[in-house]
Amino acid sequence: MFNSLSGRFLILSVAFVMLAEVMIFVPSVARFREDYLRARLERAQIASLALLADDMIDQGLEKELLQTAEVFNVVLLRDEARQLMLSSPVPSPAVATYDLRNAGPWVLMRDAINRLVSPGDDVIRVIGEPVRMGGLVIEVTMAAQPLRAAMLDYGLRIFQLSLVISVITAGLLFLAVRALFVRPIKKVASAMASFAQAPEDARRVLEPSSRLRELREAEEALHDLETQLSMALKQKDRLAQLGGAVARISHDLRNILTTAQLFADRVEMSTDPGVQRTVPKLIDSINRAVNLTESTLAFGRAEEPAPRLALLPLADIVTDVVESERLATGEHDISYGEDVPLGLTVRADPEQLYRILRNLVRNARQAIEASGEPGEILVAAKDGAEEWTITVTDTGPGLPKRARDFLFQPFAAGSRKGGTGLGLAIAAELARGHGGTLELVRTGETGTAFAVHLPKGFQQSGTS
């Protein structure tokens, strides 16, 4: 119970009410003490009236009057004359004098606290003003122990009443909190647990029903979140099913195209002029189809494995990439350049770094080939304070607007005819696996430049 919201609220309610009662306890006791002393002064004044009515009263009556007033003696100042009206033996000298005529609240509270913490059977002197113009000043001496006992009894009754009030108040607040807050919160929590069991089931989405504005806003926000999550999971399932179907189709299609490619190679040996003109186009079409299916299958496989990092010479990898692309250039007028400092080593996975640079250089080569103009491709690197930067620059026609809008998105950023748009997506994913980034530095009529940033302090980052 005490670990629940309502249980803790109950404890806090009792504590706060008791604290409030403690704050008014001292003024209440001080007020009680003042009333007690004034009552004794009034009794003493009434007792002295008997002496004013008859100058001679016997000792028995005088003792009875003092006992009724609960004082030892009474002094009355009348007509500028101080008169000892009633007297009896005083057990000990008065230890303190309290003047109630001009006592402020702080003085009264201080005197009340001092009396509560003083258990001795002292004698005190009390001075006040007589009632109904019965004189100028009245003064009595009295025992302090009965006053302290009465104050303790009054304080105990105040404490008991405060405890009862705090328990009743806390109980009512406890029930109100459970009805207004705890039950609606439990309802929301139960709805969240139910949704978590089957998030694809739209029937489990929480429907806002609270009348409390704040809780209603929370329910509406949760409703929107669960609705979006449910739709996203449904879409994910559909995409997963579609991906599986595409993978199966691509696998079968690749086998068919491979067979067609073999037949096309044989047909290419024909001496028929018509066949000679048609076969190159047929082979190009088949090659593009094979490339598309293989890229689709590669992208649809499981997530790329984590890179196996090692310090390796960057110049060797760049040379391998450039030589491979130079062989693939054919008759096109494309020159390749390397600007990598000698001895520069980077921390990377050699296979994955090769794939990143190969994709970038291949895209640059294919862009220049598609333009039909001669061009240059430069792979450069520099060693920074916190990262290594590798740039691939070409003098091609630049990326079209659609390619820039969907850069690094698979199947969407293809900038050339027959392209799949997977090269940059795969390269960006591999760069993120190294804790780095792949960035489009610039693109336009004068060419395109990409930069690969590899941090020196490796920290694996999530997919963005």
Contact predicate 348/312, CB 8 Å: yes
The answer on 383 and 283 residing in a single domain is: no
The answer on 77 and 29 residing in a single domain is: yes
The answer on 26 and 118 residing in a single domain is: yes
Amino acid 463: pLDDT: 36
**Would you place residue 381 in the very low, low, confident or very high pLDDT band (cuts 50, 70, 90)?**
very high
The answer on 154 and 69 residing in a single domain is: yes
Contact predicate 86/47, CB 8 Å: yes
Residue 379 has pLDDT above 90, yes or no: yes
The answer on 135 and 25 residing in a single domain is: yes
The answer on 284 and 405 residing in a single domain is: no
**Is residue 186, in this structure, part of any structural domain at all?**
no
The answer on 142 and 37 residing in a single domain is: yes
**Is residue 192, in this structure, part of any structural domain at all?**
no
Residue 54 has pLDDT above 60, yes or no: no
Amino acid 304: pLDDT: 59
Residue 346 has pLDDT above 50, yes or no: yes
Supply the pTM of this predicted model: 0.43
Of 236, 265, 299, the residue at which a domain comes to its end is 299
The answer on 17 and 147 residing in a single domain is: yes
**Is residue 201, in this structure, part of any structural domain at all?**
no
**Would you place residue 279 in the very low, low, confident or very high pLDDT band (cuts 50, 70, 90)?**
low
Of 256, 281, 299, the residue at which a domain comes to its end is 299
**Would you place residue 412 in the very low, low, confident or very high pLDDT band (cuts 50, 70, 90)?**
low
**Is residue 194, in this structure, part of any structural domain at all?**
no
Residue 461 has pLDDT above 50, yes or no: no
Amino acid 128: pLDDT: 87
The answer on 154 and 252 residing in a single domain is: no
Amino acid 418: pLDDT: 45
Amino acid 344: pLDDT: 93
Over residues 409-418, mean pLDDT: 55
The total of structural domains in the chain comes to: 3
**Is residue 204, in this structure, part of any structural domain at all?**
no
Residue 215 has pLDDT above 70, yes or no: yes
**Is residue 381, in this structure, part of any structural domain at all?**
yes
Contact predicate 288/261, CB 8 Å: no
**Would you place residue 353 in the very low, low, confident or very high pLDDT band (cuts 50, 70, 90)?**
very high
Burial of 330 (0-12, 13-18, 19+ CB in 10 A): exposed
**Is residue 140, in this structure, part of any structural domain at all?**
yes
The four Cα atoms 176, 180, 183, 185 give a dihedral, to 10 degrees, of: -130
Over residues 317-334, mean pLDDT: 85
How far CA 58 is from CA of 62, 64, 69, 421, in Å, comes to 6, 10, 17, 125
Over residues 317-346, mean pLDDT: 88
Between 357 and 235, name the one with better pLDDT: 357
**Is residue 203, in this structure, part of any structural domain at all?**
no
Between 33 and 259, name the one with better pLDDT: 33
Of 35-49, 108-122, 282-296, least confident by mean pLDDT is 282-296
Over residues 319-337, mean pLDDT: 86
| CB atoms closer than 10 angstroms to residue 421 | 20
The answer on 337 and 258 residing in a single domain is: no
Over residues 131-157, mean pLDDT: 85
Residue 56 has pLDDT above 80, yes or no: no
Residue 362 has pLDDT above 80, yes or no: yes
**Of the candidates 361, 399, 363, 395, the residue with the CA atom closest to the CA atom of residue 376:** 395
How far CA 217 is from CA of 180, 212, 220, in Å, comes to 15, 9, 5
Over residues 395-423, mean pLDDT: 69
Amino acid 249: pLDDT: 64
Over residues 166-193, mean pLDDT: 79
The answer on 157 and 9 residing in a single domain is: yes
The answer on 445 and 383 residing in a single domain is: yes
Which pairing describes strands 387-394 and 81-86: parallel, antiparallel, or unpaired?
unpaired
Of 138-142, 246-250, 322-326, least confident by mean pLDDT is 246-250
Of 242, 266, 299, the residue at which a domain comes to its end is 299
Domain boundaries, position 60: 5-168
Amino acid 28: pLDDT: 87
Over residues 41-69, mean pLDDT: 74
Residue 415 has pLDDT above 90, yes or no: no
